[in-house]
């Protein structure tokens, strides 16, 4: 063979080798990092979507997302209001650990029983976030929508390459352009804000389709001020109302559903849908204030945004991880907002920041159809909210949920498996269970360094209103004690006004009495053997009468006693008081409740 032919043969072999290498190399290369889209809706209730049971709202795109992925039935927000949940999602830390425990800037309650702690009204820019971690791993990142994590903080300080529409505010001035949002140039008049946020997300996705990207899409919707496209509002006005019946809210929610459909269509068109993870959730429960004009209903859950019960913190969570999540699957394992941070780190193969003391647990195994370690979920809200919350803490452990109200340490215990609507308080019936969970809650607060509220020297009690039948129920935990020893002793073992060893101590309840007339007084009292015989005065306004305490065989063995009537001649804000006048035994008595019933 000539040298010329030999060289030609070698060149041919080299070309063949390169050709084979080009074919083999993709199969040996590491798989492309998955894109990530997190859609956070503001004030979306657990029962608002069709796939979660709504018969009024039309959410076909979100229903399809659940059909194609995994729907969580027992997902919870980190808090009953927005800013703490947003901080928890981004950092993987509980609001209690961050000391960011209320919406920014919070509701002042200068005359309330407790004063809130000196909490943080901004997310510290030194905190690692899911955006900063993904950016360090080569992702391009964008925050498009509501930020609301401090007057002087912006997404760019937390690892986001792009910020659209995000600043300190917690709600948009309006949903129809012009928006008056400094971080969002106005579109044409009549443009709808949710549509615009989605269009910005689509442009970012298309621009970065060849590189791994992270889109954080915290819609301003469905927060007030409620608004909708007129033709969509008209469609819902014609629908048969159910527990949910607000056509404007429904139209606003439909704009969110439309955005999910547009995003998935764009991913399909770009050929990247199979390599894009989508997580969809809410920052707290649905808003139920407003009577007949309320935004939504969380039924069968109790209450809503800004309250301690399930309606305030149980939220939708839908996950789509192509090739991993089983289509149409559901997960009943309780999970919480903080879990999304470590989950996304695991999905993307990204390392956490060194020394980052996170609280969330990766739920990636649940997306694989496996299990995770059993654990309890906790909440800490040392504030007041018009939605109903007074300062409280709560824990869910298995099917059990315990609530501790910080004003009085009063406990409530519910079994969510048999009582999803939290109607049957079992704290008195199961004191050992309640006490064990209360200890778990206290231990958790200590571990995360939770800030506690303090007694407010400017406290002015809010008067108790009459019930629908005109009666007044005065439970022990709402009484105001005066003196050295007298105190409210909470469940689980007690739920009484007790430790009444000093006769000068007394207790009172402020009432908003609207009607004059006679009120029959019924007291639930207990008294130990040898301590009976105390002479006690009860009064309502100017009306007074005496009664003698009877022994019941134990201070926690209660007897219902009718004590006679008190007459109200001048209605208004009146105080019902119990004052001992003579105490022959070791203690006066324990009081669980008083009932004042109007006599026709």
pLDDT tens across 26-70, in order?
A: 444 456 899 999 999 999 999 999 999 999 999 999 999 999 999
What Cα–Cα distance (Å) separates residue 406 from each residue in 113, 380, 442, 485, 524?
10, 10, 12, 19, 24
How do beta strands 392-397 and 472-475 pair? unpaired
135-183 pLDDT, tens per residue?
A: 999 999 999 999 999 999 999 999 999 999 999 999 999 999 999 999 9
What Cα–Cα distance (Å) separates residue 246 from each residue in 43, 60, 194, 231, 232?
14, 18, 18, 15, 12
How do beta strands 35-41 and 276-282 pair? parallel
**pLDDT score at 26:** 41
**180 class by beta-carbon count within 10 Å (0-12 exposed, 13-18 middle, 19+ buried):** exposed
**pLDDT score at 30:** 54
Average pLDDT over residues 78-99: 98
35 is written with which tokens? 């894109």
24 is written with which tokens? 């083999």
Instruction: Indicate whether 9 pLDDT > 60.
Output: no
Cβ atoms of 206 and 276 within 8 Å: the answer is no
Cβ atoms of 69 and 248 within 8 Å: the answer is no
Cβ atoms of 49 and 291 within 8 Å: the answer is no
How do beta strands 329-331 and 114-115 pair? unpaired
Share of the chain above pLDDT 90, in %: 90
- Average pLDDT over all residues of the chain: 93
Among the ranges given (21-25, 127-131, 337-341), the one the predictor scored with the smallest mean pLDDT: 21-25
Grouping H, G, I as helix, E, B as strand and the rest as coil, residue 335 is strand
Q: CB-based contacts of 461: which residues, under 8 Å, 6+ apart? A: 113, 480, 509, 510
What Cα–Cα distance (Å) separates residue 4 from each residue in 10, 152, 235?
10, 74, 81
Confidence of residue 490 (pLDDT cuts 50, 70, 90): confident
Give dist(CA 425, CA 410) in Å, integer: 12
**451 class by beta-carbon count within 10 Å (0-12 exposed, 13-18 middle, 19+ buried):** middle
What are the respective helix, strand and coil percentages of the chain, to the nearest 5?
25, 25, 50
Average pLDDT over residues 331-348: 98
Q: CB-based contacts of 436: which residues, under 8 Å, 6+ apart? A: none
**pLDDT score at 460:** 85
Taking the mean position of all CA atoms in its chain, how far away is CA 252? 21
Average pLDDT over residues 205-223: 97
Give dist(CA 283, CA 315) in Å, integer: 8
Instruction: Indicate whether 435 pLDDT > 90.
Output: yes
**pLDDT score at 495:** 85
**pLDDT score at 269:** 98
Q: CB-based contacts of 565: which residues, under 8 Å, 6+ apart? A: 518, 519, 520, 521, 599
**pLDDT score at 386:** 86
Give dist(CA 306, CA 297) in Å, integer: 14
Confidence of residue 10 (pLDDT cuts 50, 70, 90): very low
Instruction: Indicate whether 482 pLDDT > 70.
Output: yes
**pLDDT score at 1:** 45
Grouping H, G, I as helix, E, B as strand and the rest as coil, residue 509 is strand
Q: At what angle do helices 60-68 and 247-270 cross, to 10 degrees?
A: 50
E-assigned strand segments in 245-326: 276-282, 314-320
Strand partners, 539: 544, 577
Strand partners, 487: 498
For the chain, the first-to-last Cα distance in angstroms comes to: 124
φ/ψ of residue 127, rounded to 5: -70, 130
20 is written with which tokens? 């084979």
How do beta strands 410-415 and 480-482 pair? unpaired
CA-nearest of 159, 163, 155, 156 to 201 is 163
Cβ atoms of 213 and 144 within 8 Å: the answer is no
517 is written with which tokens? 């007339």
Give dist(CA 454, CA 463) in Å, integer: 21
Instruction: Indicate whether 547 pLDDT > 60.
Output: yes
357-408 pLDDT, tens per residue?
A: 999 999 999 999 999 999 999 999 999 998 889 999 999 999 999 999 999 8
Give dist(CA 368, CA 171) in Å, integer: 36
CA-nearest of 531, 544, 547 to 590 is 531
Q: Which domains does the chain have, with CATH numbers?
A: 35-106+125-372 (3.40.720.10), 392-455 (3.30.1120.10), 464-598 (2.60.120.260)
Instruction: Indicate whether 249 pLDDT > 70.
Output: yes
φ/ψ of residue 435, rounded to 5: -65, -40
**pLDDT score at 31:** 66
Higher-confidence position of 338 and 556: 338
**pLDDT score at 17:** 41
């Amino acid at each position: 063979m000539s040298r010329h032919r030999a060289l030609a043969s070698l060149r041919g072999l080299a070309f063949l080798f390169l050709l084979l290498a080009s074919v083999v190399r993709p199969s040996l290369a590491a798989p492309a990092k998955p894109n990530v889209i997190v859609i956070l809706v503001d004030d979306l209730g657990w029962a608002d979507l069709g796939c979660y049971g709504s018969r009024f709202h039309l959410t076909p795109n979100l229903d399809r997302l659940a059909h194609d992925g995994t729907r969580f039935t027992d997902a919870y927000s980190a808090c009953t209001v927005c800013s703490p949940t947003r901080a928890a999602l981004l950092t993987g830390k509980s609001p209690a650990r961050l000391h960011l425990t209320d919406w920014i800037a919070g509701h002042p309650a200068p005359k309330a029983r407790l004063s809130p702690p000196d909490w943080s009204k901004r997310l510290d820019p030194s905190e690692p976030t899911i955006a900063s971690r993904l950016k360090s791993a080569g992702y391009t990142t964008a925050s498009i929508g509501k930020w609301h994590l401090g007057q002087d903080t912006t997404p760019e300080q937390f690892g986001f390459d792009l910020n659209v529409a995000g600043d300190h505010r917690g709600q948009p001035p309006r949903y129809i352009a012009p928006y008056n949002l400094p971080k969002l140039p106005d579109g044409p008049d009549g443009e709808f804000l949710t549509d615009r946020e989605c269009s910005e997300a689509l442009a970012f996705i298309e621009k970065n389709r060849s590189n791994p990207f992270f889109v954080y899409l915290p819609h301003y919707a469905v927060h007030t001020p409620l608004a909708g496209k007129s033709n969509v509002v008209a469609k819902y006005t014609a629908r048969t109302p159910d527990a949910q019946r607000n056509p404007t809210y429904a139209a606003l929610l439909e704009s969110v559903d439309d955005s999910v459909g547009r995003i998935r269509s764009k991913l399909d068109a770009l050929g990247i849908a199979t390599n894009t993870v989508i997580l969809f959730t809410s920052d707290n429960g649905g808003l139920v204030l407003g009577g007949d004009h309320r935004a939504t209903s969380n039924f069968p859950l109790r209450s809503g945004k800004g309250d301690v019960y399930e309606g305030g913190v149980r939220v939708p969570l839908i996950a789509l991880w192509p090739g991993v999540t089983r289509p149409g699957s559901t997960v009943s394992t309780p999970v919480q907002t903080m879990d999304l941070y470590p989950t996304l780190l695991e999905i993307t193969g990204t390392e956490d920041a060194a020394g980052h003391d996170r609280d969330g647990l990766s739920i990636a195994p649940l997306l694989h159809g496996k299990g995770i370690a059993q654990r309890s979920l906790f909440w800490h809200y040392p504030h007041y909210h018009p939605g109903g919350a007074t300062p409280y803490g709560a824990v869910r452990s298995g099917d059990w949920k315990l609530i501790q109200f910080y004003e009085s340490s009063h406990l409530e215990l519910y079994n969510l498996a048999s009582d999803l609507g939290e109607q049957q308080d079992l704290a008195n019936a199961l004191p050992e269970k309640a006490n064990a969970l209360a200890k778990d809650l206290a231990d958790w607060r200590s571990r995360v360094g939770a800030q506690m509220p303090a007694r407010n020297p400017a406290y002015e009690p809010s008067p108790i209103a009459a019930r629908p039948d005109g009666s007044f129920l005065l439970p022990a935990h709402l009484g105001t004690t005066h003196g050295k020893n007298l105190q409210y002793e909470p469940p689980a073992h007690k739920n009484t006004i007790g430790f009444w060893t000093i006769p000068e101590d007394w207790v009172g309840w402020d009432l908003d009495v609207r009607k004059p007339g006679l009120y029959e007084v019924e007291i639930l009292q207990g008294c130990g053997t040898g301590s009976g015989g105390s002479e006690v005065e009860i009064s309502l306004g100017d009306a007074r009468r005496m009664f003698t305490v009877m022994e019941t065989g134990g201070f926690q063995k209660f007897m219902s006693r009718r004590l006679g009537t008190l007459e109200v001649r001048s209605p208004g804000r009146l105080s019902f008081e119990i004052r001992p006048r003579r105490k022959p035994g070791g203690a006066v008595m324990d009081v669980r409740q008083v009932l004042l019933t109007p006599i026709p």
